[in-house]
Structure 1
Amino acid sequence: MTTLQDHRFQDPEFPEQNPSSKIVILNGFPGTGKLTILQNLKKFLPGGTTFLLDNHLLIDPVAAIIPDRSNRHHELRRSVRAPIFEEVGNLARKGHTVLMTACLVAESHNDAVFFQGIS
């Protein structure tokens, strides 16, 4: 019997480290319930291997120090995110599931950098 998984496309640039590893990013406008949705989803996933990261945990400290959206603000956000995203990648490679909220827009350089940090 052949299953769908037998025929999955494998991108050589992104080899699959662990078939159970996942990073789920729920993207949407502020105030639309992304965190609530992921909190509810997390209840149905294994507790010891599922983590939830609200993007405000990364954004709010930077906004408190540099409230404008200047280049300096975005540089500090990248610096704050870098070690967290590195650990997110490590968790996923170990087979854990990481649920994340985001508010990303198309054609944004700053948002493109967001995805570079997760890989």
Structure 2
Amino acid sequence: MEPNFERYTLKELQECFESLDKAKWPERAIKIEQLIKQAKCNPIHVSEETTPLNKDVVMMFVIGLTIIVSLILGKVTISNRYDGFSYADNPFVFSLCIGVLLFIFLQYLSRYLISKKDD
């Protein structure tokens, strides 16, 4: 059974062509080479690689949600065993925790935006 090379991305086709035993599979080598040429001439039909959800995006979502919920409730809870820091009891520590969470959120955001800029 022959692989369905039409579903391969350009990168996958190039890797496959480089590692293929061309003496053993000459017809596959020709087909892959034609698909590579076609993909380079007509990049619209080349399927893009799908990437799983970016880790930075997930972390930004979790930290952002934590900040929003903490601001709404007026309390930062670190774990289930400890009641947390409330704004009413200690505004300085509460503000410090929110500041640290915001700093971490901005670090993930900047890393995400820089990675998108490089693409």
TM-score by length of 2: 0.30
Of Structure 1 and Structure 2, which has the larger fraction of its residues in helix? 2
* More strand per residue: 1
Q: Tell me the TM-score normalized by structure 1.
A: 0.30
Q: Which has the larger radius of gyration?
A: 2
